[in-house]
Structure 1
């Protein structure tokens, strides 16, 4: 099979545990792009947190961010697809989190907003590589422009308890994703990596069987099942490995590079 599109998750997949891309992987990706294969990112990260890595790879393609809620060109900034959360839903979710004492972060297209004394400040600085805007309250942001709501708690039981309640309330209207050890991300019901990847393939007139998708976590499952070649990382949980067509090395062992060399560069 001649693959024409490769979509790769970032954290736990393309990035090492040190949040880096190995030089060998960068070189391999460059060789893949030279063969006119479209290589893109498909991440739960916000756009601005993905751009430094897209620039490192010299990508000039639409990249999938915020778990499929925003697809935007890495070079020009052109928006190809954006799915915003209804402002009434946003208000209800935020109010619930505030009353439960859970730290909330609000994602617009290129900005993150938190309230004063939020536990999330350092996390955004380290992971999103962005300094959040600090606001007194979220009322002024409830204008229908929110694309992701993230909340967290270091208390695992508390996090699971409130996530379960929110899920039961809004599972028909919103998608819920766990990310990292203590985070829950909420996006539009139609926002997921599979839909975003399918839209991208349609734009470039690429068939499903001509796509490789790689990931390591639950939010990657739908795109791995959709792609012609769905790949789970060696560090992925068993349920993801079971639905994948191929299991590669871990993210600490250049698993992405291994797949590109085996299925595209024929090494």
Structure 2
């Protein structure tokens, strides 16, 4: 991955662009602004393939992909599920059942809000304000069950998510990431989200898969993100770029940091490195 420098000196043709959703392509109102829409449309007109790389559920990302007329495989659930907008599945790495039970019980005992995702459905034990807000933002229905461990009878979950105050998420990450090293991928996606997924379920690995499927070399991949869970994706890409509101870790990992934040930052990056508009 190239770091900051005289970018005009490089004549790289990016053929695949992978973009995070929340706080990157989607602004604080969970909308995509006109500048980002224009940049994405022009990039696709020039033959550049665009995909989404998100921690969101597939069923939450798919409508956005269809709206933007994206045809490349979508990276969802932090990379655990790669599936295109037409429904073709490329890979799925669910959390092993034994580990899912352990994590859920651990979080239940400590009273944390938990989301469990099975077969692209969202399961909650309590439809509190946190759960209601999450389902509303994701635009998916929430299924309330008596016990999230018992719902694992439906199959292994694609992901388990804990939602808590940022300081508690930091504490949980410090305790559980080493405990499950090599067994689970434990990462923050937001300061208040701690995600548990299969160790192979990362955005970087999924982006490598998508690039291979599309015949795009690593050097021709542009990745755009803002948060902790974007770090290996930014590292994999020929150019990893961060929007202006990115966390310090993502800014440090990026080869380019946009002046603008969120969707305006996405537009700035695509205009500069894909469309060649530097004015």
TM-score (normalised: structure 1)? 0.93
Please show how residues 193-232 of structure 1 align to structure 2 within 5 Å: 193-232=203-242
Q: Is the contact between residue 85 and residue 144 of structure 1 (CA under 8 Å) also seen in structure 2?
A: no
Q: Does 1:26 align with 2:13?
A: no
Please show how residues 109-258 of structure 1 align to structure 2 within 5 Å: 109-118=119-128, 120-138=130-148, 139-142=150-153, 144-154=155-165, 156-252=166-262, 254-258=264-268
1:260 to 265, 270, 273: 270
CA RMSD of aligned residues (A): 1.7
Matched with 2:102 is 92
1:65 to 76, 88, 106: 76
Cα shift readout 1:149-191 (whole Å, capped 9, x = no counterpart): 011224x444433333322321221111223332211110111
Q: Is the contact between residue 13 and residue 250 of structure 1 (CA under 8 Å) also seen in structure 2?
A: no
Range with greater deviation from structure 2 (207-216 or 163-172): 163-172
Q: Once the 2 structures are TM-superposed, how far is the Cα of residue 117 of structure 1 from its aligned partner?
A: 4.7
Q: Is the contact between residue 91 and residue 142 of structure 1 (CA under 8 Å) also seen in structure 2?
A: no
- SS of 2:24's equivalent in the other structure is helix
TM-score (normalised: structure 2)? 0.89
Matched with 1:38 is 49
Question: Taking structure 1 as reference, are residues 226 and 157 closer, same or farther at Cα in structure 2, changes over 3 Å only?
Answer: closer
Q: Once the 2 structures are TM-superposed, how far is the Cα of residue 206 of structure 1 from its aligned partner?
A: 0.8
* CA distance in 2: counterparts of 1:258 and 1:213, whole angstroms: 13
* CA distance in 2: counterparts of 1:126 and 1:263, whole angstroms: 34
Cα shift readout 1:196-238 (whole Å, capped 9, x = no counterpart): 0000111111100000001111111111111111101111123
Q: Once the 2 structures are TM-superposed, how far is the Cα of residue 107 of structure 1 from its aligned partner?
A: 0.8
Q: Which runs of 5+ in 1 are unaligned?
A: none
Question: Taking structure 1 as reference, are residues 182 and 238 closer, same or farther at Cα in structure 2, changes over 3 Å only?
Answer: closer
Q: Is the contact between residue 145 and residue 151 of structure 2 (CA under 8 Å) also seen in structure 1?
A: no
Q: Once the 2 structures are TM-superposed, how far is the Cα of residue 143 of structure 1 from its aligned partner?
A: 5.3
Question: Taking structure 1 as reference, are residues 102 and 210 closer, same or farther at Cα in structure 2, changes over 3 Å only?
Answer: same
* CA distance in 1: counterparts of 2:187 and 2:220, whole angstroms: 27
Question: Taking structure 1 as reference, are residues 242 and 157 closer, same or farther at Cα in structure 2, changes over 3 Å only?
Answer: closer
